[in-house]
Amino acid sequence: MGNKKTIMMIAGVAALFFGNLSAAQADELKPYQNTYCNVQTFIGPDSQKVAMALPLAHTNNIPVIIVGKSALNLPHTGYIMAHECCHHSLKHTSKLPNMHTRESLAQIEQEADQCAANLLQARGEYKAIQAAVIQARHDGQFARAEKITQSLEASSPSGYGFE
Ligand SMILES: [Zn+2]
pLDDT 10s digits, 27-37: 778 899 999 99
pTM of the entire structure? Answer: 0.77
Q: Is residue 161 part of a domain?
A: no
- Give me ligand 1 centre to Cα 153, in Å: 21
pLDDT at 163 over 60: no
Helix (H, G, I), strand (E, B) or coil at 144: helix
Mean pLDDT, rounded, for 38-47: 82
What pLDDT was estimated at residue 15? 30
Mean pLDDT, rounded, for 120-139: 95
Q: Is residue 160 part of a domain?
A: no
- Give me ligand 1 centre to Cα 90, in Å: 11
Which residues place a Cβ less than 5 A from the ion ligand 1?
Answer: 16-17, 109, 112
pLDDT at 140 over 50: yes
Q: Is residue 132 part of a domain?
A: yes
What pLDDT was estimated at residue 19? 46
Total tally of structural domains belonging to the chain: 1
Cα dist. 50→43, 65, 80, 163 in Å?
Answer: 10, 11, 8, 25
- Give me ligand 1 centre to Cα 83, in Å: 6
Range of the domain at 74: 3-155
pLDDT at 38 over 60: yes
pLDDT at 7 over 60: no
Higher pLDDT, 111 or 4: 111
Q: Is residue 163 part of a domain?
A: no
Q: Is residue 162 part of a domain?
A: no
Answer whether 103's CB lies under 8 Å from 51's CB: no
Sheet of 51-55: strand order equals 30-31, 41-43, 63-67, 51-55
Q: Is residue 110 part of a domain?
A: yes
Q: Is residue 142 part of a domain?
A: yes
pLDDT at 11 over 50: no
pLDDT at 6 over 70: no
Q: Is residue 73 part of a domain?
A: yes
- Give me ligand 1 centre to Cα 6, in Å: 14
pLDDT at 9 over 60: no
- Give me ligand 1 centre to Cα 24, in Å: 25
